[in-house]
Amino acid sequence: MSFGVGPAAHAAPTVVAPPPSVELVDLGGGRVRATFSMQPERAESAVFLAGDFNGWKPDATRMERMGDGFCRASVELAHGRHTYKFVVDGRWIADPRNPEREPDGHDGFNSLLVIGGEPAFDASLARKGDGAIEFAACRHDPSRAMWLQREPDGATLVRYRALAGDVESVALVLDGTPPQPMGHVTRVGSFDWWQIRIPRGHEDTPYGFVVTDGATNWTDPSAFRVPGAGAAAPLRTPEWARDAVWYQIMLDRFANGDRGNDPPNTRPWTSRWRATSPWETENGQTFWEWAVFNRHYGGDLEGLRARIPYLKSLGVNAIYLNPVFEAPSHHKYDATNFVHIDDNFGSLGDAEMSAANEDLLDASTWGLNSSDRLFLEVLRELKANGFRVIVDGVFNHVGERHVAFADVRARGKESPFAGWFDIESFEPFAYRGWAGFGQLPAFRKSADGLESDTLVRHIMDVTRRWMDPNGDGDPSDGVDGWRLDVPNEVPMGFWRAWRATVKSVNPDAYIVGEIWKRADDWLDGTTFDAVMNYPFAQAVVQWVSGEIKPAELDARLAELRLAYSEQATAVLQNLLGSHDTDRLVSMIANPGRGYDRANSERPGSRYDGARPSAETYRRARLAALVQMTYVGAPMIWYGDEAGMFGSDDPFCRKPMVWRDVGAFEDPDERFDEEHFDAYRAMVALRGGFPALRRGSMRTLVADDARNLWVFERALGGQRVVVALNASAETQEFTLPDAEWRGYDWRTVLDTDGAREVDRLGVVGPLGGRVLLGTKRP
């Protein structure tokens, strides 16, 4: 068979140049030598380069001072996306000469460098059927999940990309078979995407592509081969996680069920948040320095147990607990050990008793104290009520009171734990803390994991302990998985080994990482099952806040669906806010700041932390409706369903506004019944229709003029059409008759429920309408 080759349709694309602070030299083979430069304010400053290419180690790559006053360092990098910062005298700063940045998750930015990045193509010149093909835009890259995914059943999903509107069809040519037409799946930005599944049994078979436009049939000259039997196993995620509706709980702020275990100076639950208690201003402290950050409210495990009926009434079925292990703070990210549950959550005094009788390096000496047993008892009760439970794993750093760190501080180099931590000097004693925080000593890293073998063994023992507490080989008495804090701070080799440990204990366990950006590299089947889907949150919040239009929202979410395998996409934690961000309603009330940016209420801030307007709450419910109908597992930060508001940490961590604890001193802090009822209806909607949890996703309308987004979720004979209106006026959409034909349609949720509307395409202002189509016999 012979193919003609048509003329290229458009001018040659240009590649975006690197910033002036980075010089690139092509080394061939998809690699470059990158030289970074930075001019510090002080000539005597020590400057280092840290990034994802050196494990973010702040002292791994020293930048040498040159005669022109600039400090420089060269590293060899592969083509792709890289993030980095400069470390100047211990202070982390983004590259001031690089405008390309992305949030670092800690109220700052990482600088972004794209090497061998996408050329800039102009799709406006493309015309189908003219026989002209932009060859440079045609691409298949089997090294990335966006282009090739191995599926658990042995099939291989293959995708191909071309300039948007430029070609009429793409076919797969599998060695020894006729060309097989590929299906057009989506358009993202300047590109159209096609895909096809190659069934099992074609391992190691060569394949290629034929692109057709008008009279032109062009064979892509690149040659590919289906992954063979020796390829890495595909990602397989827990089935139960597809049905999860997550609820995130910070125990100290959720419910106080036992006042006998309260920490000293526990604040009254309903006290005015912005006021200080007498003890908080002792020793010269003020509200912001540091009283509001050091508060305790006494939430505990008995409080969680008492609120199980509430969680069931809301309809959630999976719980993510912020850290529960022994630690002095309210948030518990400063662990004193991972072996025991915090005694303020269980029984006071447990921590000292346990530490006196155990060897941290010998798991056989670890017993269960009363706080541990209470945790397992509440865990058992949650599971009996249909909940899955995961806990926070903080394996990058600990608190200064951690048993091992205290031993290092006391004994120096003689401590058996001396190799665990990133110690800069034993005399005088100095160490590196996570993100520059002096109270959070970080573990020492190697190029591919954690430096200390005994530390790795300890973490593996801790992992097994809480996944199978009685060690009988049956994990049903343990946690169902882990959420991992700042995992990008630990080189990936550790997580590969850790995943193997987790899955050996419970193959059905769920692992989710706190990654704030797109996470292709983390979802290849070797580390995590899912990530906290912050890019989803950013796009949805921007849309309901009026910052972007539906077409951009749709394109950004489509790109995420392309980037990850279906196994990962179906179980991503689709959050809108968390303990690290401002509350959802407050985000919407303060638009134009970027997600988790400029959201503190410190003196001088223009952030509006007051209770938002009724319209803002409607916009928040619209965002929640996206959560409950979109692909992936929705996650609610405790209290969002009750209308809680507040700026970033610590205002996003106020005590839960229970109905039955009496009136709060601040009357704006109250349980919002209308908001709760709406959430409960939306959660029930998701639980009631399998298509919303496991079905395919197809965009039907993305109308910028009317601010209307309509998509379909489909599974078997069930179709669910979700119509969402972010405008302040009633809108109506139309679909071709063929979309409605052959199905019986009814409204299953309408945010304007009292409205009598016969027309299926009518959607009320700042709301949504969900239609169920059942296939006729």
Active site residues: 485, 514
- State the CB neighbour count (10 A cutoff) for residue 523: 26
Helices (H), 578-728: 584-589, 614-629, 673-688, 690-694
Within 490-601, residue ranges assigned H as helices are 492-505, 534-544, 550-563, 566-569, 584-589
As a whole number of angstroms, the distance between CA 163 and CA 137 comes to: 6
Tokens standing for residue 444: 């020492």
Q: Two tokens at 4?
A: 């003609």
- Cα distance between residue 169 and residue 693, in whole Å: 31
The beta strand positions in 388-537, using DSSP E, are 388-393, 423-426, 429-431, 445-446, 449-450, 481-484, 510-513, 530-531
CB crowding 652-689: b at 16 or more within 10 Å, else e:
bbbbbbbeeeeebeeeebebbeebbebbebbbbbbbeb
What whole-number distance in Å separates Cα of residue 614 and Cα of residue 177? Answer: 61
Q: What is the DSSP secondary structure assignment for residue 42, as one 8-state letter?
A: S
> Per DSSP, what are the bridge partners of residue 159?
195
| Residue 182 exposure: Cα atoms within 13 Å on the Cβ side | 29
Per the CB < 8 A criterion, the answer to whether 585 and 645 are in contact is: yes
* Order of all β-strands in the sheet with 510-513: 530-531, 510-513, 481-484, 388-393, 318-321, 246-249, 633-637, 573-575
* Alpha carbon 183 to chain centroid, angstroms: 30
For residues 255 and 305, give the distance between their C-alpha atoms in angstroms, rounded to a whole number: 9
Q: 248 near 633, Cβ under 8 Å?
A: no
